[in-house]
Amino acid sequence: MSMQENLEKIQREALEQIRASEHVEGLNDVRVAFLGKKGALTQVLKGMKDVAPEDRPKVGQLVNDARAAIEQAMEERRNAFLSAMKEEKMKSETIDVTLPAKKPAQGHRHPNTIALEEVERIFVGMGYEVVEGPEVEYDLYNFEKLNIPEGHPAKDEQDTFYINKNIVLRTQTSSVQARVMEQGKLPIRIISPGRVFRSDEVDATHSPSFHQIEGLLIDKNITFADLKGTLAEFAKQLFGEETKVKFRPHHFPFTEPSAEMDVSCFKCGGKGCRFCKGSGWIEILGCGMVHPHVLEMCGIDPEEYNGFAFGVGLERIALLKYEIDDMRLLYENDIRFLKQF
Ligand code: DAH
């Protein structure tokens, strides 16, 4: 076999193996086999000493051509491998932007908070301001100035936690009434939400700590009709436009006259159901015209000013609105319960 034939054979074999190789490493083996120190082409170069001197340039040229052809084929094959790998990688990393996104876990507002925000929204919409008062309170504001003097039975009714003889954990947000009136800025239009305390045993409807929202309006020439109109509007916004209200005479020491307000059952519309215990009505709050003696004790002239007050249990609203039948659920912070709101 002539040198030329031999070179052609080597080149053909090399190209064939390049074509047959299946990955970049395979190409490396081909390089070693043909172009490496002991490779086929290198062997040919070593045999140059046996070639007649006048033929050497020509043969040398042939060797170089073969080498270039093999290198070029390897380079092309290599590039083909690399771009195939890249394409593969891109394909596996493709993000389908049309897939629905994963929903991030989010906290939920407590039913008490939702109910409070709702009540605040309604009264702020009617021009009321939201104010807060201390939970640790003087007997003076919690009882005395609200017409509940020493020895008054109402003091025993609200099982009070005493810090000392003069300081209590407030049993009602009505304490804020006395504080706001005492400041003397008139007229007054406030609601005051907050925590109250009574030494009650825990059950489905009682807790030693719960929340109330107090309301107070003081101005000139306020009548019971203003109270009724305001609270009827409140009930409609809270429980729905068809809600009717009913006022039953009641007694609170700090209001005269006093009443309790019922709303028509929003479950059965007043026909009577399990929810309203068959009566068609649900008791919702206490209210009344601020007692002149209370105005006086808080530095307001009852001849010039008068007004109305009301107190709502926040938990009661939350339980009713969300049809929860056990108050304890509101305090246990069971995630499975809280997640539903
Ligand atoms: N403080 C009363 C209670 O805890 C609720 C209440 C009733 C508040 C009548 C008022 C009111 O402002 O006028 O039972």
Question: pLDDT (tens digit, 9 = 90+) per residue, 289-322?
Answer: 999 999 999 999 999 999 999 999 999 999 999 9
Q: How many CB atoms lie within 10 A of CB 185?
A: 8
pLDDT at 153: 83
Q: Over 90: is that where the pLDDT of 189 sits?
A: yes
Name the residue with the closest Cα to ligand 1, atom 3.
172
CA–CA dist 307, 110 (Å, integer) = 33
From the CA of 307, how far away is ligand 1's center (Å)? 14
CA–CA dist 114, 120 (Å, integer) = 10
Kindly state the DSSP code that residue 151 receives in the 8-state scheme: T
pLDDT at 157: 66
From the CA of 191, how far away is ligand 1's center (Å)? 12
CA–CA dist 223, 257 (Å, integer) = 11
pLDDT digits (tens, 9 = 90+) for 207-249: 999 999 999 999 999 999 999 999 999 999 999 999 999 999 9
Mutate to test the pocket of ligand 1, among 169, 191, 254 (most ligand atoms within 8 A of CB): 254
CA–CA dist 266, 244 (Å, integer) = 9
Name the residue with the closest Cα to ligand 1, atom 6.
311
What atom in ligand 1 is closest to the CA of residue 171? 4
Kindly state the DSSP code that residue 327 receives in the 8-state scheme: T
Q: Is the peptide bond before 100 cis (omega within 30 degrees of 0)?
A: no
Task: Retrieve residue 214's tokens.
Answer: 């107090």
User: The pTM is what?
Assistant: 0.72
From the CA of 283, how far away is ligand 1's center (Å)? 13
Q: Over 80: is that where the pLDDT of 158 sits?
A: no
Name the residue with the closest Cα to ligand 1, atom 2.
311
Please say whether the dihedral angle defined by the alpha carbons of residues 14, 19, 21 and 25, taken in this order, is positive or negative. Answer: positive
From the CA of 258, how far away is ligand 1's center (Å)? 9
Query: What is the CATH number assigned to the segment(s) 111-338?
Result: 3.30.930.10
Give the least confident one: 45-54, 128-137, 193-202, 327-336.
45-54
pLDDT digits (tens, 9 = 90+) for 245-297: 999 999 999 999 999 999 999 888 889 988 888 999 999 999 999 999 999 99
Domain ranges of the chain: 3-92, 111-338
Q: Over 80: is that where the pLDDT of 2 sits?
A: no
Mutate to test the pocket of ligand 1, among 168, 174, 231 (most ligand atoms within 8 A of CB): 174
Q: Residue 230: CB partners within 8 Å, gap ≥ 6?
A: 126, 217, 308
Q: Over 90: is that where the pLDDT of 105 sits?
A: no
Task: Retrieve residue 150's tokens.
Answer: 């020493």
pLDDT digits (tens, 9 = 90+) for 117-137: 999 999 999 999 999 999 999
Name the residue with the closest Cα to ligand 1, atom 4.
172
From the CA of 42, how far away is ligand 1's center (Å)? 106
The ligand 1 site (C-beta within 6 Å) comprises: 172, 174, 214, 252, 255, 286-288, 309-311
Strands 167-169 and 255-264: unpaired
